Chain A
Amino acid sequence: MYTETQILKETSTSLLNGEGELVINVGPQHPATHGVLHLVITLNGETIKKIEPHLGYIHRSIEKMCESLTYRQFIYVTSRMDYLSAHINNHACAMAVEKAMQIEVPQRAQYIRVILDELTRIASHELWWGALAMDVGAFTPFFYAFRERETITDIMEETCGARLTMNYMVPGGVMADIHPNFQQRVKDFIKLFKKNVDEYDDLVTGNVIFQNRLKNVGYLSPEDAISYGCSGPVARGSGVKSDIRKIAPYDIYNQVQFDEVLETAGDSFARYLVRVKEMRQSISIIEQLIDNIPEGEFQAKTKAVLKPPKGEFYTRVETARGELGVYIVSEGGTTPYRIKFRSPGFSNLSALDHISRGSKIGDLMATMGTLDLVIPDIDR
Chain B
Amino acid sequence: MFSLKSITDSIQVWLSANLGATGALIAQCVIVILLAIALFAVLGLVLVLMERKVAARMQVRLGPNRVGPWGSMQTAADTLKLIVKEGLTPDGADKFLFNLAPYIVMIVAMLLLAPIAYANNFQIWDINIGVLYVTAVSSLGVIGILMAGWASNNNYSLLGAMRSGAQIVSYELSAGLAILTIVVLTGSLQISEIVQSQADGWWIFKGHIPAIIAFIIFIIAVTAETNRAPFDLAEAESELTAGFHTEYSGMKFALFFLAEYINIFIVCAIGATLFLGGWMPLHIGNWQAFNHIMDYIPSSVWFFGKVFFLIFLIMWFRWTFPRLRVDQLLNLEWKYLLPISLFNLLLVTMIAILGWHF
**Which residues 236-279 of B sit at the A interface, judged by CB distance below 8 A?**
236-241
What's the minimum C-beta distance from B240 to chain A, rounded to whole angstroms? 8
> Contact residue range for chain A?
20 to 34
A68 contacts partner chain B, Cβ-Cβ < 8 Å: no
Q: Are A136 and B238 in contact (CB under 8 A)?
A: yes
**Which residues 93-112 of B sit at the A interface, judged by CB distance below 8 A?**
none
Distance in angstroms between the alpha carbons of A46 and B155 in the assembled complex: 11
Q: A143-B61, A147-B60, A360-B326 are in contact. Are A207 and B238 (CB under 8 A)?
A: no
A138 contacts partner chain B, Cβ-Cβ < 8 Å: yes
Q: Nearest CB to that of B163 among chain A residues?
A: A46
B172 contacts partner chain A, Cβ-Cβ < 8 Å: no
Q: Are B326 and A362 in contact (CB under 8 A)?
A: yes
Q: Are A137 and B230 in contact (CB under 8 A)?
A: yes
Q: A209-B230, A212-B324, A212-B328 are in contact. Are A362 and B319 (CB under 8 A)?
A: no
Q: Which residues of A contact B327 (CB under 8 A)?
A: 46, 360
Against A, the Cβ 8 Å flags (1 = close, 0 = not) of B299-325 are: 000000000000000000011111111
Distance in angstroms between the alpha carbons of A128 and B21 in the assembled complex: 68
> Which of A139, A207, A365 is the one whose CB lies under 8 Å from B239?
A365
A228 contacts partner chain B, Cβ-Cβ < 8 Å: no
Distance in angstroms between the alpha carbons of A361 and B156 in the assembled complex: 11
B25 contacts partner chain A, Cβ-Cβ < 8 Å: no
Distance in angstroms between the alpha carbons of A366 and B61 in the assembled complex: 26
- The SS class assigned to the A binding surface is helix
B59 contacts partner chain A, Cβ-Cβ < 8 Å: yes
> Which of A30, A31, A133, A144 is the one whose CB lies under 8 Å from B322?
A133
What's the minimum C-beta distance from A39 to chain B, rounded to whole angstroms? 12
What's the minimum C-beta distance from A204 to chain B, rounded to whole angstroms? 8
Q: Nearest CB to that of A135 among chain B residues?
A: B238
A248 contacts partner chain B, Cβ-Cβ < 8 Å: no
Q: Which of B55, B155, B229 has the most chain A CB atoms closer than 10 A to its own CB?
A: B155
Q: Are B241 and A30 in contact (CB under 8 A)?
A: yes
Q: Are B229 and A137 in contact (CB under 8 A)?
A: yes
**Which residues 135-166 of B sit at the A interface, judged by CB distance below 8 A?**
155-156, 158-159, 163
B232 contacts partner chain A, Cβ-Cβ < 8 Å: yes
Q: Which of B159, B238, B318 has the most chain A CB atoms closer than 10 A to its own CB?
A: B238
Q: Which residues of A contact B159 (CB under 8 A)?
A: 22, 24, 43, 46, 361
What's the minimum C-beta distance from B3 to chain A, rounded to whole angstroms? 43
A210 contacts partner chain B, Cβ-Cβ < 8 Å: yes
Q: Are A213 and B324 in contact (CB under 8 A)?
A: yes
Q: Are A209 and B322 in contact (CB under 8 A)?
A: yes
A58 contacts partner chain B, Cβ-Cβ < 8 Å: no
What's the minimum C-beta distance from A42 to chain B, rounded to whole angstroms? 11
A197 contacts partner chain B, Cβ-Cβ < 8 Å: no
Q: A360-B326, A362-B323 are in contact. Are A144 and B60 (CB under 8 A)?
A: yes
Q: A22-B155, A24-B155 are in contact. Are A46 and B326 (CB under 8 A)?
A: yes
B58 contacts partner chain A, Cβ-Cβ < 8 Å: yes
A140 contacts partner chain B, Cβ-Cβ < 8 Å: yes
A289 contacts partner chain B, Cβ-Cβ < 8 Å: no
A134 contacts partner chain B, Cβ-Cβ < 8 Å: yes
Against B, the Cβ 8 Å flags (1 = close, 0 = not) of A32-43 are: 100000000001
What's the minimum C-beta distance from A192 to chain B, rounded to whole angstroms? 13
Q: A137-B232, A143-B59, A143-B60 are in contact. Are A213 and B322 (CB under 8 A)?
A: yes
Distance in angstroms between the alpha carbons of A339 and B325 in the assembled complex: 44
A126 contacts partner chain B, Cβ-Cβ < 8 Å: no
A372 contacts partner chain B, Cβ-Cβ < 8 Å: no
Q: Which of A22, A138, A147, A362 has the most chain B CB atoms closer than 10 A to its own CB?
A: A362
A363 contacts partner chain B, Cβ-Cβ < 8 Å: yes
Q: Which residues of A contact B232 (CB under 8 A)?
A: 137
Interface size on B, residues (CB 8 A): 31
Q: Are A362 and B236 in contact (CB under 8 A)?
A: yes
Q: Are B319 and A140 in contact (CB under 8 A)?
A: yes
Q: Nearest CB to that of A211 among chain B residues?
A: B322
What's the minimum C-beta distance from A49 to chain B, rounded to whole angstroms? 14
Distance in angstroms between the alpha carbons of A361 and B155 in the assembled complex: 13
Q: A209-B230, A362-B326 are in contact. Are A139 and B59 (CB under 8 A)?
A: yes
Q: Are A209 and B324 in contact (CB under 8 A)?
A: yes
Q: Are B237 and A31 in contact (CB under 8 A)?
A: yes
**Which residues 114-136 of A sit at the B interface, judged by CB distance below 8 A?**
133-136
Q: Which residues of A contact B241 (CB under 8 A)?
A: 30-31
What's the minimum C-beta distance from B163 to chain A, rounded to whole angstroms? 8
Q: Are B325 and A362 in contact (CB under 8 A)?
A: yes
What's the minimum C-beta distance from A217 to chain B, rounded to whole angstroms? 9
Q: Which residues of A contact B230 (CB under 8 A)?
A: 137, 209
What's the minimum C-beta distance from B115 to chain A, rounded to whole angstroms? 33
What's the minimum C-beta distance from A163 to chain B, rounded to whole angstroms? 19
Q: Which residues of B contact A135 (CB under 8 A)?
A: 238
Q: Nearest CB to that of B233 among chain A residues?
A: A362
What's the minimum C-beta distance from B326 to chain A, rounded to whole angstroms? 6
Q: Which residues of B contact A143 (CB under 8 A)?
A: 59-61
Q: Which residues of B contact A363 (CB under 8 A)?
A: 325
Q: Nearest CB to that of B55 among chain A residues?
A: A139
Distance in angstroms between the alpha carbons of A347 and B157 in the assembled complex: 32
Q: Which of B61, B237, B239, B324 has the most chain A CB atoms closer than 10 A to its own CB?
A: B239
Q: Which residues of A contact B55 (CB under 8 A)?
A: 139
Q: Which residues of B contact A361 (CB under 8 A)?
A: 159, 239-240
Q: Which of A30, A133, A207, A209 has the most chain B CB atoms closer than 10 A to its own CB?
A: A209
Q: Which residues of B contact A139 (CB under 8 A)?
A: 55, 59, 318-319
Q: Nearest CB to that of A138 among chain B residues?
A: B322
Q: Nearest CB to that of B154 among chain A residues?
A: A24
Against A, the Cβ 8 Å flags (1 = close, 0 = not) of B209-251 are: 0000000000000000000011011001111110000000000
Against B, the Cβ 8 Å flags (1 = close, 0 = not) of A282-313 are: 00000000000000000000000000000000
> Which of B58, B163, B323 is the one whose CB lies under 8 Å from A137?
B323
**Which residues 16-55 of A sit at the B interface, judged by CB distance below 8 A?**
22-24, 30-32, 43, 46
Distance in angstroms between the alpha carbons of A43 and B163 in the assembled complex: 14
Closest 3 CB pairs of A and B: A137-B323, A143-B59, A138-B322
**What are 6 A-B contacts with C-beta separation under 8 Å?**
A24-B159, A134-B238, A138-B320, A138-B323, A143-B61, A362-B239
Task: A46-B159, A144-B60 are known; give 8 further A-B pairs, CB within 8 A.
Answer: A32-B239, A143-B59, A204-B322, A212-B325, A213-B322, A361-B240, A362-B236, A362-B323
Binding site for A on B (CB under 8 A): 55, 58-61, 155-156, 158-159, 163, 229-230, 232-233, 236-241, 318-328
